[in-house]
Structure 1
């Protein structure tokens, strides 16, 4: 039995506050297509899903070819926004996020990973902008997996690290993250500073909720103390 502990983070809404990027890119893409713009709350509610599934959820009656067109439009607009605003660094990390990563990364028995609805290209930009890629042993993106909450990303993270599900924790800000963690047999921590409210996180099965990054490491120790 492995003593390794795996901690997997969502990115948007959990590590990085990218909501303004996401909303503006989606707004521009929809405007270019002449499609009625969803509200900011509606847009943020689908963060975490793969891009195709997110758009299909926002506009359920949109034809498949239009979903594909909107997805490409969003990606194009996001790239333009990076250029306009100075890259992913314009979307800041949440307070305390780097300190928590540094503390966990320094522990020999703890391995870190990412499971995100971003494409690999977008994740690579975020890693470079914030200089955080070296923290993560495993990085799972939307390119190679079904959308959250399917457990594929976390199952692959286990395979790549050699950790076991009962010693693994998924950390995220949406019900999709929590449901994915539960489906993979992970323990789960919901963060309250992201895009879904606490009721959704609790209903999805979060084992614990944290309100700041200062509370994250103690929450993990509490979980590992009960596994």
Structure 2
């Protein structure tokens, strides 16, 4: 009996890369653009993972759609400028062990890797290029083409792209949005404890891990159960 195709989907910000400094700085620019007070850092990081068109109405519910649009544009421009100035590897460094685990998983003939992120396609392309990850992720789902997390659209499309079944698909992420998206898509979620949501917000995860080194063993155990 042949081994089924496995699909491992990664969130990006807070899971693969630590981009919080640039996120907070870009949010500060966005709030300055409309003359509003910047919320606390924890509140900003608490909505990372959602799409920008959802974030600003959530954080600023009394502002007009035009104001939200102005904040989105200010955020995008500031983020791009900071990334161009500092370089991707400094602006959004990979978490310790991330590259090693990605390389290990990519070498497995029955495993395919994907991404599901609130980033734009342009932003993800720049990140992948900056870290030399071209060809690693065979399916890339971004905010441009999907409803915001936790809607399951990104995961469902990723599975359709590669022909993977839900029982053989795992979502890796650091936020409640990732874990709720996984649950909505009928796949298992692995929550990571180094990102932007605390352990208490990851209750929808099938399992939690404390470092990247622990991920392969967790995946092996999951796949044994589903075999």
Whether the TM-score (by the shorter chain) exceeds 0.5 is yes
Confirm or deny that 1:30 pairs with 2:31. yes
Q: CA deviation at 1:89?
A: 4.2
Q: Residues 89 and 126 of structure 1 are in contact (CA less than 8 Å); yes or no, is this contact kept in structure 2? A: no
Q: Residues 2 and 163 of structure 1 are in contact (CA less than 8 Å); yes or no, is this contact kept in structure 2? A: no
Q: CA deviation at 1:2?
A: 7.6
In the TM superposition, 1:11-160 aligns within 5 A as: 11-87=12-88, 89-160=90-161
Q: Which residue of 2 aligns with 1:214?
A: 213
Q: Where does the alignment leave 5 or more consecutive residues of structure 1 unmatched?
A: none
Please list every run of at least 4 consecutive aligned residues from structure 1 whose deviation after the TM superposition is greater than 6 angstroms.
none
Q: Residues 193 and 210 of structure 2 are in contact (CA less than 8 Å); yes or no, is this contact kept in structure 1? A: yes
Q: Secondary structure of 1:169's match?
A: strand
TM-score normalised by L of structure 2: 0.96
In the TM superposition, 1:152-191 aligns within 5 A as: 152-191=153-192
Q: Residues 33 and 71 of structure 2 are in contact (CA less than 8 Å); yes or no, is this contact kept in structure 1? A: no
Q: Residues 3 and 110 of structure 2 are in contact (CA less than 8 Å); yes or no, is this contact kept in structure 1? A: no
Take 1:80 and 1:183, find their aligned partners in 2: how far apart are those partners?
A: 35
Q: Where does the alignment leave 5 or more consecutive residues of structure 2 unmatched?
A: none
Aligned residues: 225
Q: Residues 117 and 142 of structure 1 are in contact (CA less than 8 Å); yes or no, is this contact kept in structure 2? A: yes
Q: CA RMSD in A?
A: 1.3
Q: Secondary structure of 1:99's match?
A: helix
